[in-house]
Structure 1
Amino acid sequence: MTDAVARARALAEELLFPSAAVVDAAGAVPRSHLDAIADAGLYGLTGPADAGGLDADPGTVAAVVEELASGELSTAFVWLQHLGVAGALRDGPEPLREAFLADLCAGRRRGGVALQAALRPGPAAVRVRTDGDGLVLDGTVPWVTGWGHVDLLLVAARDAADDVVFALVDAVGSATLAVAPQRMVAVTASATVELRLDGHRVPAGRVVGTVPLADIRAGDAAGLRPNGSLALGLVARCARLLGPSPLDGELAGARARLDAATPEELPAARAAASALAHRAAGLLVVSTGSSAVHSGAHAERLAREALFLLVFGSRPAIRAALVAELGG
């Protein structure tokens, strides 16, 4: 176990899990939780060493995500979005690196992402055009996590050539940037919102990069591994609450399958992890008995979170694999 993983486990066991029911009931991640993750250096998990980051390898990243998710999913979910921003700036323009990367790695500034609306099949939900010395963004992003906890959003938008422009946007409401809370059955404390952009101007110097849409879609499957650790974290918590059981071996098997999967195999491996989380939460409910249906019970919350993880970060191939696995 690396030092970063050990720090994540300590946070999960000593801070996140003991307060998970309270956070879920309150519907808001405490800033102190995110500050504790920053103090542990984990906001810089994927950041480069020259900016104060840990420069963690993919295995360490996956293990840290799993540990934090085993503690309390909403907090882990908010923090996870930040890694995408820090990772994008690793090879970003030098002025943006100098302006933001050290603060992002230290957790002094915190990031979120607004990506999939511009990347999914069909017409782009978010468009960008050049206007004078800046850019203008229009469209709607259904799911943006961590509103109120993040300072910057990495927004993806498609231009007239259908290339994808990635830009850093200040996470501040205005006449051209508005949000509406998303009501969900689980992880409501994650402050997930719908983001609406209506002629929102961004300086040209905030562009992180531009990538052809076809290239992003071709490489999408290779990036599916870290989200699988959210499901593994939920399974791990169920296993710890149940005590020694076959879940322990199944968890190890699901983790090994995700770690070994090729990009082509990752959708099925992700589906298997989510299906295992669903089954593990069901087993915990049955083993707990009637008290599991009390609002605030660990089993009740974990069952709702397992439902959330069946659809979070999904893709058509993941959905098809889940339908096949759950449908028999």
Structure 2
Amino acid sequence: MGGPPPPPQHSHARGGTREEAVARELAADVLAPAAGAVDATGVLPSGHLDALAAAGLYGLTGPRSSGGLGADVATVAAVVEELAAGDLATTFVWLQHLGVVVRVAAHGPPPVRARLADLCAGRLRAGIALQAAVRPGPPAIRVRPDGGDLVLDGAVPWVTGWGAVDVVLVAARHGDDVVLVLADAVEGPTLAVGSQRMVAVQASATVELRLAGHRVPADRLVHRAPLAGWLAADAATLRVNGSLALGLALRCTRLIGPSPLDGDLAAVRARLDAATPEELPDARAEAAALAHRAAGALVAATGSGAVRAGSDAERTAREAVFLLVFGSRPAIRASLLSRLGAAD
């Protein structure tokens, strides 16, 4: 059924910023060599996240005044792509943290902003629970004020990094508003989690979060915004998530060697970079479809070895399936179904 793919003959290095170079080195030296073991055991070594913190990458999106790197969107996207090429599970856990840093820096009141330096240094690590409160239908999670506390009730099906994060930024609904609350990631009588078994990135420790009368001090409120405004701004956040799919495609091109996929990757990257908020869902879908196609090409190039559980090709193919649905929106799903030939 064919032999293994040829050895990589090119590095795909694009120059870029110091942060991108640091990410490329970490991915090559720390993440990629252990990626197979991480996938097989379902356990993310704490040393992976510690290495990202030591390199300053937990503060990638943070303001320089708080010890962050103040990176622009292009730099963040390039760093995510390089890390995802090395190990998707590690990158998936770390990426959640960046969104919390951005929101705390932009909106956090003084008691929350006081923790920004610890967030940027990676001494305080964060996850997110944002989409359950804003998806169509009745709110999955609600918040109400009670004395000096905010009380949370409901369930969030996907919270990543449990056991590796200290706090979780929870989005909840109060009337027609979305309220962001920073809650401690500690189980107890009013906060419970259930493990989620996934096709890939099991080491990301993604759980279902259940809250029943869970109290958080009112000074942990990070931001409040009308639901309509939140939904209108959501598309602008999709660019960086697309770099996970680009990173997977980048891994495939490096393992396969020079091929037409190189040009496809550059074109999809350029389209994502240039997309307006209205164009981003379709560009995101194109990135996910490319990762899926590139993973298929890697399987074919690898040959019979690809059907062995634990091979790079087998793991990458499962991760490509995961990225077909990760961070999806109705417009992304519709575009993907069309690209994959399943739309009417």
Match of 2:274 in 1: 260
Match of 1:27 among 30, 36, 42: 42
Match of 2:27 in 1: 12
Give, in angstroms, the shift of residue 84 of structure 1: 1.0
1:274 matches 2:320: no
Q: Secondary structure at the match of 1:83?
A: helix
Code of the residue aligned with 2:314 in structure 1: it is E
Q: Secondary structure at the match of 1:165?
A: strand
1:23-55 per-position Cα deviation (integer Å, ceiling 9, x unaligned): 100101100000000000000000000000001
Match of 1:40 among 31, 55, 58: 55
Match of 1:214 in 2: 228
The higher-RCO structure (CA 8 Å, 6+ apart) is 2
Output the CA distance in 2 between the equivalents of 1:84 and 1:32: 22
Q: Is the 8 A contact 2:171 2:178 kept in 1?
A: yes
Q: Which runs of 5+ in 2 are unaligned?
A: 1-15
Match of 1:314 among 328, 333, 337: 328
Match of 1:304 in 2: 318
1:201-244 per-position Cα deviation (integer Å, ceiling 9, x unaligned): 01100000110000000111111000000000000000000000
Code of the residue aligned with 1:34 in structure 2: it is L
Output the CA distance in 1 between the equivalents of 2:337 and 2:99: 29
Match of 1:89 in 2: 104
Pairing of 1:82-121 with structure 2 (within 5 A): 82-91=97-106, 92-98=108-114, 100-121=115-136
Match of 1:245 in 2: 259
Give, in angstroms, the shift of residue 162 of structure 1: 2.0
Match of 1:53 among 52, 58, 68: 68
Q: Is the 8 A contact 2:111 2:220 kept in 1?
A: no
1:123 matches 2:138: yes
Match of 2:155 in 1: 140
Code of the residue aligned with 1:206 in structure 2: it is R
Give the paired residue count.
326
Q: Secondary structure at the match of 1:123?
A: coil
Q: Secondary structure at the match of 2:310?
A: coil
Q: Which runs of 5+ in 1 are unaligned?
A: none
Match of 2:241 in 1: 227
Q: Secondary structure at the match of 1:289?
A: helix
Code of the residue aligned with 1:54 in structure 2: it is L
Q: Is the 8 A contact 2:191 2:212 kept in 1?
A: yes
Match of 2:341 in 1: 327
Q: Secondary structure at the match of 1:327?
A: coil
Code of the residue aligned with 1:31 in structure 2: it is S
Give, in angstroms, the shift of residue 132 of structure 1: 1.3
CA RMSD of aligned residues (A): 0.7
Q: Secondary structure at the match of 1:217?
A: helix
Code of the residue aligned with 1:242 in structure 2: it is I
Output the CA distance in 2 between the equivalents of 1:65 and 1:87: 15
1:47-91 per-position Cα deviation (integer Å, ceiling 9, x unaligned): 000000001000000000001000000000000000011111112
Output the CA distance in 2 between the equivalents of 1:327 and 1:22: 35
Match of 2:185 in 1: 171
Q: Segments of 4+ in structure 1 off by > 2 A? A: none
Output the CA distance in 2 between the equivalents of 1:51 and 1:282: 43
Percent identity of equivalent pairs: 69
Output the CA distance in 2 between the equivalents of 1:154 and 1:241: 37
Output the CA distance in 1 between the equivalents of 2:296 and 2:136: 33
TM-score normalised by L of structure 1: 0.99
